[in-house]
Amino acid sequence: MGKTVTVPAEEIARQWEFMGRCREALDARFGERRAAFVKSFGCQQNVSDGEKLAGMLAEMGFTLTDDPDKADLILYNTCAVRENAEQKVFGVVGAAIRRKAERKGLLVGLCGCMTQQAHVATKIRESYPGVDFLMGTHALHRFPEILYGVLQGSGGKRRRVFAAEESDGVIAEGLPAVREAGVRANLPIMYGCNNFCTYCVVPLVRGRERSRRSADILAEAKTLIAAGYKEITLLGQNVNSYGKDLEDDLDFPELLKAVNSLEGDFWIRFMTSHPKDCTPALIDAIASCEKVCRHIHLPVQSGSNRVLQAMNRHYTREQYLEIISYARQALPDANFTSDIIVGFPGETYEEFLETVSLIREVRYSSLFTFIFSPRVGSKAAAMPDPVPAEEKSRWFNELLAAQRETGMAYYERCVGKTLRVLPEGEGRLKHGILDVTPGPGERIWMGRTEHNMVVDFIGPESLPGDFVQVKITAAANWALAGVLQAP
Ligand code: SAH
Ligand code: SF4
């Protein structure tokens, strides 16, 4: 059993001191008004890290801006899961550096999963001299110290700070956070991953699994509920392994029950579940918790046993279907979603068709679908991959067509029902399924159902940040439209 490494309280106190020192140095550099632009790419874990960075920046006297042109500090929190996310980052970093010509004193930094990889850190160091600092995922809690190091450059001499070498993951409690305003909050319960799926870079850049103490999680959940959040998502790469590295603490089903027993009217979600650890005990726990949404995101990746084995997923198609069937019995209204990879090295068309048949069998309401992307350091990147990209694109489109069918059927079944919806903000209606125009004093809202389906509906200009009832009148294959019902 591994030992969870919590950053000592004295070290966190030292970082708080650096926040104060940065504040003084930044006053001297920019005057008292300064803005920071923080952009997080990728998954919810990165979004959550971005909220901590925003919290530390606020302590240093920055306001946050969503316009990089108005920023005195630009920070990109990067994602390494697929190549296209990486390419995007190199593009925006180049643009950020060019802004230095017009914006005196502008600071540019990089953090997140890409920066934890040695080849990326080297490329940034050598080919992007305008980047002032780079910190790997394990250095996040040392951001104030790192920024202070940069600010120590004097007499026209710049100082660049690179902190990506630390190899072990830690847990840092007691840092400030600025969460996105709204009704939904992310609550990390663990970090890292022990699974080493052969295509995946996450264990290489996020380190081994480590769980937060349940007392810290529950205290944070209570603060969030008191602050008015109505939906809490428990985050981890494989939440079902929560607590395995802790002695005398809860496991994931117990943690779910503990959060469920907190007072208040709120929803609980969790992501992501690994099918190999999604046990009947977990399903039973969900069934016994009325606040846990009946939505299970259970990434299957492939419907072929040979490919699943090559991916090192540790379950078979049959075992996966067994757990889905158990869940359908225990949670008759449960909704399933999944992640799929198309074109894993060596996958044949016949094997791909097994994935399509599995999608039809499970009848997912929606899917996140990806074409395999080779990642530096992952086993799959070294496997022979003879299928050409155009062929993989054709398979990908076939997959989307199958998904549209099952998704549409799922969404259409909601028409005529009245569903509980948590309004989040402005509706977009790009799907064009709501053919009514808001009247005076009204606007189009967007919210989500317990099953994580997007609903657009017309309502008054302002709504209290609370659940509403919406009668569903129309469906597309990824969104619903409806009419607000009187409370
Ligand atoms: N820990 C989560 C999510 C990991 S990343 C889990 O295990 O499900 C999110 C998704 O990105 C994965 O589920 C997978 O479908 C996809 N993904 C990861 N690495 C990939 C790669 N190299 N190429 C294509 N898709 C990938
Ligand atoms: Fe990556 Fe697999 Fe870990 Fe998910 S479980 S983060 S896909 S290695």
Predicted pLDDT of residue 200: 97
Strand partners, 481: 456, 474
Q: 191: Cβ below 6 Å to ligand 1?
A: no
Q: Are 320 and 357 in contact (CB under 8 A)?
A: no
- In this structure, what token pair is assigned to residue 16? 């708080």
Q: 368: Cβ below 6 Å to ligand 2?
A: no
Predicted pLDDT of residue 3: 60
Cα 219 to ligand 2 centre (Å): 28
Report the predicted TM-score, pTM, of the whole model to 2 decimal places. Answer: 0.94
Predicted pLDDT of residue 180: 82
Q: 82: Cβ below 6 Å to ligand 1?
A: yes
Cα 210 to ligand 2 centre (Å): 14
Cα 373 to ligand 1 centre (Å): 10
Cα 200 to ligand 1 centre (Å): 6
3-class secondary-structure state, position 183: coil
Pocket test for ligand 1, best of 200, 234, 276 (most atoms within 8 A of CB): 200
Q: 48: Cβ below 6 Å to ligand 1?
A: no
Q: 202: Cβ below 6 Å to ligand 2?
A: yes
178-190 burial, b at 16+ Cβ within 10 Å, e below that, comes to: bbeeebbbbbbbb
Q: 196: Cβ below 6 Å to ligand 2?
A: yes
Distance (Å, whole) CA 441 – CA 32: 39
Predicted pLDDT of residue 4: 60
Distance (Å, whole) CA 18 – CA 76: 21
In sequence order, what E strands does 104-249 have? 107-112, 133-135, 161-163, 184-188, 190-191, 210-211, 231-235
Tallying the residues shown for the chain, one arrives at: 487
Cα 312 to ligand 1 centre (Å): 13
- In this structure, what token pair is assigned to residue 70? 């108005």
**Residue with the nearest Cα to atom 2 of ligand 2?**
197
Predicted pLDDT of residue 189: 97
Closest-approaching ligand to the CA atom of 241: 2
**Residue with the nearest Cα to atom 1 of ligand 2?**
200
Cα 307 to ligand 1 centre (Å): 15
Predicted pLDDT of residue 154: 65
Distance (Å, whole) CA 325 – CA 203: 30
- In this structure, what token pair is assigned to residue 209? 């699994």
Q: Provide the residue-wise pLDDT of the chain in tens; the chain has 487 residues.
A: 446 688 999 999 999 999 999 999 999 999 989 999 999 999 999 999 999 999 999 999 999 999 999 999 999 999 999 998 888 999 999 999 999 999 989 999 999 999 999 999 999 999 999 999 999 999 999 999 999 999 997 666 789 999 987 667 789 999 999 998 789 999 999 999 999 999 999 999 999 999 999 999 999 999 999 999 999 999 999 999 999 999 899 999 999 999 999 999 999 999 999 999 999 999 999 999 999 999 999 999 999 999 999 999 999 999 999 999 999 999 999 999 999 999 999 999 999 999 999 999 999 999 999 999 999 999 999 999 999 999 999 999 999 999 999 999 999 999 999 999 999 988 876 556 666 778 898 888 999 999 999 999 988 988 888 999 999 999 987 889 998 998 7
3-class secondary-structure state, position 196: coil
Q: 312: Cβ below 6 Å to ligand 2?
A: no
In the block, which residue shows the tokens 């070498």? 165
Predicted pLDDT of residue 167: 66
Q: 195: Cβ below 6 Å to ligand 2?
A: yes
4-24 burial, b at 16+ Cβ within 10 Å, e below that, comes to: bbbbeeeeeeebeebbebbee
Cα 283 to ligand 2 centre (Å): 21
Query: Considering only CA atoms, which of 240, 277, 238, 272 is closest in space to residue 255?
Result: 240
Q: 35: Cβ below 6 Å to ligand 2?
A: no
Predicted pLDDT of residue 156: 66
**Residue with the nearest Cα to atom 5 of ligand 2?**
195
Kind and range of the H or E element at 202?
Answer: helix 202-206
Distance (Å, whole) CA 26 – CA 20: 10
Q: 313: Cβ below 6 Å to ligand 1?
A: no
Distance (Å, whole) CA 259 – CA 250: 11
Q: 45: Cβ below 6 Å to ligand 1?
A: no
**Residue with the nearest Cα to atom 24 of ligand 1?**
372
Cα 201 to ligand 1 centre (Å): 9
Closest-approaching ligand to the CA atom of 83: 1
Q: Is the bond preceding 63 in cis, omega lying within 30 degrees of 0? A: no
